[in-house]
C-alpha cells in the first residue's frame, strides 16, 4: 500500500496545492473546535468572549471557512496575540 507521501508525489503540482490548502482549512477548523472544547466553552460562550455572534464561531469551525480579517483580528486579540 502506498504512503500518503507517495500518493501526493504522483499528483500534479496544482493538485498538490489544492490538497494542501484544503488540509490547512481542516486543521484550522479542528484546532478551533478542540481549543473551545478544551476550554469547556460553548460556541455561544466563546462568541461572547470574542465579541462576535455564535454563528461566527460555527462558521469558523467549518472546514470550508474563509474568515474575514476582522474576525481573525478579534480571535487573536482574545487570545492575547498580535493582530495581523
* Calpha distance 70→76 (Å, rounded): 10
What value does the mean pLDDT of the chain take?
78
Mean of the pLDDT values across residues 72-77? 68
pLDDT tens digits, 35-62: 888 889 999 998 898 888 999 889 888 8
Instruction: Give the number of other CB atoms < 10 A from CB of residue 70.
Output: 10
Residue % of the chain over a pLDDT of 70: 67
CATH classification (class only), 14-78: mainly alpha
Amino acid at each position: 500500500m502506498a504512503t500518503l507521501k507517495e500518493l501526493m508525489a504522483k499528483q500534479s503540482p496544482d493538485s498538490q496545492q489544492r490538497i494542501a490548502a484544503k488540509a490547512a482549512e481542516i486543521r484550522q477548523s479542528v484546532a478551533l473546535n478542540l481549543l473551545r472544547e478544551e476550554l469547556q466553552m460553548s460556541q455561544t460562550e466563546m462568541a461572547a468572549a470574542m465579541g462576535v455572534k455564535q454563528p461566527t464561531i460555527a462558521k469558523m469551525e467549518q472546514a470550508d471557512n474563509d474568515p474575514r480579517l476582522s474576525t481573525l483580528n478579534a480571535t487573536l486579540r482574545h487570545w492575547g496575540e498580535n493582530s495581523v
